[in-house]
Amino acid sequence: MKIHNFDGTIAAIATAVGESGIGIVRISGRDALAIADKIFVSSNGKKPSTFRTYTIHYGWIVENSKIEKPADFIDEVILTVMRSPKTFTREDVVEINCHGGIVALRKVLDLTLEHGCRLSQPGEFTKRAFLNGRIDLAQAEAVLDIIRAKTDSALKVGTEQLKGNLSRELNKIRNLLLDSLSLIEANIDFPEEQIIPADTKKLSGQLKAAGNGLMRILESANAGKVFREGISAVICGKPNVGKSSLLNALLKQERSIVTPVAGTTRDTIEEIIDIKGIPVRIVDTAGMVAPRGLIEEKAVQRSRKYIHAADLIIMVFDGNKQLEKQDRLLMGRLSGKTTIAVINKIDLKAKLPKQKITEKFERVVEVSAKKMKNINLLEEAIADLVYRGGIRSPEPVLVSKLRHIESIRKAQKLIAEAVDSVDNNNKLSQEFIAQDIKDALVYLDNILGKKFSEELLDKIFSEFCIGK
């Protein structure tokens, strides 16, 4: 594939801001080596432009590279040279491993800009990798999923897509559609040549195979979305039932303040935890049912908002007390919500009538948050609820992004319409059937990046960090 001549050579800090052992300044573009010559002095006196590809060199970043052994340098570094086309961007790439302090990194970056680089836009390194044909658009988007992965399962979804699994499946389906289109268009373009009409059985079979292939991909979409984005779970209950203790137990650290005083939690507290490979955004809400003032009223309003939007409710009951009016009021508000009832404080004398809870909720778990007892059972209940809801799939997760899912669904609908026209000898002309196939191909090409708009690319890569 042709290597694009992009607007200039770009540079950026490629590591997270903050103190660390190492920080990296990345340079990519046709002038990367020439710029490195101007700011780097190697311990052997050689210039980066003379270094072989995939070699690492010790030296110093300086304002004047004509000094062979600088006494005054900006940082002592390791410089890596990677020559086009076998690089991430398929351009010449130089990476400078500096000390990880922000001041040193900033000074090195500023020096690259002074000598001809421009600051990279968000995601521009990956965008260049896509435009230069190293990866397709679906793989480029997978890079961001890997960066944002919060669990091992989410990481696996991203890496499977980066390996090209989704792209390979879509390309197989794309080839079936192209073959089908060629059968039809031969008759449309050359009717005077008396070409044998398209083999209806063969055409139908190819289109059905394409549609079934898209269906298999969509079957893993729900799992992919959950593993990438997670689910939202809200812990609710009346005051002092142990909601904050339960959050701390699930986090396995003290995140919420726990006291015997009812109403300690006045605001929502959010954390993300990994439960059996599922990212769960868990929220501890205020427990006031009848607010006693403006602050408590605001807290209750926010709690209700989170409960309404949650994928899962974890309602906590105090097993050491009888069922009270506040419990019943909250139970009534959860009608229609996916809920796990948690009877807490089983380390104390049981007073709560469990039968009343099991009559209302299908899933009930008894725990002691304070003693960390049966927390694993709650985790298993959460995971089982998600997996039994159709999340777990024996096939690898191929698709997780909403953009991809919507495009695949639209393509599948168009293919189904084409199959119906072919099988039922509808009065639609072959031109209409061909158009359905072409439109389906457009949706697949938008995922793969075979056809794209600048607006689409800008939207996708604007979500990336600068330096990737």
Residue extent(s) of CATH 1.20.120.430 domains in the chain: 147-220+398-449
The pLDDT of 125-138, averaged and rounded, is 93
Q: What letters, b where the CB count within 10 A reaches 16 and e where it falls short, cover 76-87?
A: ebebbbbbbeeb
Residue extent(s) of CATH 3.40.50.300 domains in the chain: 227-391
Distance, CA of 19 to CA of 99 (rounded, Å): 9
pLDDT digits (tens, 9 = 90+) for 385-394: 877 754 444 4
Q: How confident is the model at residue 22 (pLDDT cuts 50, 70, 90)?
A: very high
Closest CA to 8 of 23, 21, 27: 27
Asked if 277 contacts 151 with a C-beta cutoff of 8 angstroms, the reply is yes
**What is 227-391's CATH topology?**
Rossmann fold (3.40.50)
- Using the structure block, give the residue that is written with the tokens 């995922």: 447
The answer to whether the bond into 85 is cis (omega within 30° of 0) is yes
Distance, CA of 388 to CA of 393 (rounded, Å): 10
Asked if 210 contacts 173 with a C-beta cutoff of 8 angstroms, the reply is yes
- Using the structure block, give the residue that is written with the tokens 């006196």: 45
Residue extent(s) of CATH 3.30.1360.120 domains in the chain: 10-135
Closest CA to 127 of 163, 86, 89, 91: 89
Across all residues in the chain, what is the average pLDDT? 83
pLDDT digits (tens, 9 = 90+) for 294-334: 555 666 677 778 888 888 899 999 988 888 888 888 888 88
The pLDDT of residue 2 is 44
Q: Sign of torsion, CA 406 410 415 416?
A: positive
CB neighbours of 298 closer than 8 A, spacing ≥ 6? none
Q: Sign of torsion, CA 160 162 164 167?
A: positive
Sequence letter at residue 31: D
Residue 39 above 80 pLDDT?
yes
pLDDT digits (tens, 9 = 90+) for 136-161: 999 998 888 888 777 777 788 788 88
Sequence letter at residue 70: P
Q: Alpha carbon of 30 to those of 8, 25, 85, 258, 316: distances in Å?
A: 8, 17, 11, 59, 61
Distance, CA of 437 to CA of 414 (rounded, Å): 7
10-135 maps to CATH 3.30.70.20: no
CB neighbours of 47 closer than 8 A, spacing ≥ 6? 37, 40
Top-confidence range, 34-38, 323-327, 449-453: 34-38
Tokens of 189: 């373009």
Tokens of 39: 């700011």
Asked if 184 contacts 437 with a C-beta cutoff of 8 angstroms, the reply is yes
Q: Alpha carbon of 8 to those of 5, 129, 154, 222: distances in Å?
A: 8, 15, 35, 41
The pLDDT of residue 291 is 54
Largest CA distance in the chain: 91
Instruction: Name the pTM for this structure.
Output: 0.69
The pLDDT of residue 400 is 73
Tokens of 73: 């340098």
Q: How confident is the model at residue 439 (pLDDT cuts 50, 70, 90)?
A: very high
196 compared with 333, residue with greater pLDDT: 333
pLDDT digits (tens, 9 = 90+) for 53-76: 999 999 999 987 666 666 678 999
**What is 147-220+398-449's CATH topology?**
Four Helix Bundle (Hemerythrin (Met), subunit A) (1.20.120)
Q: Specify the range with the lowest mean pLDDT, choosing from 195-199, 252-256, 282-286.
A: 195-199
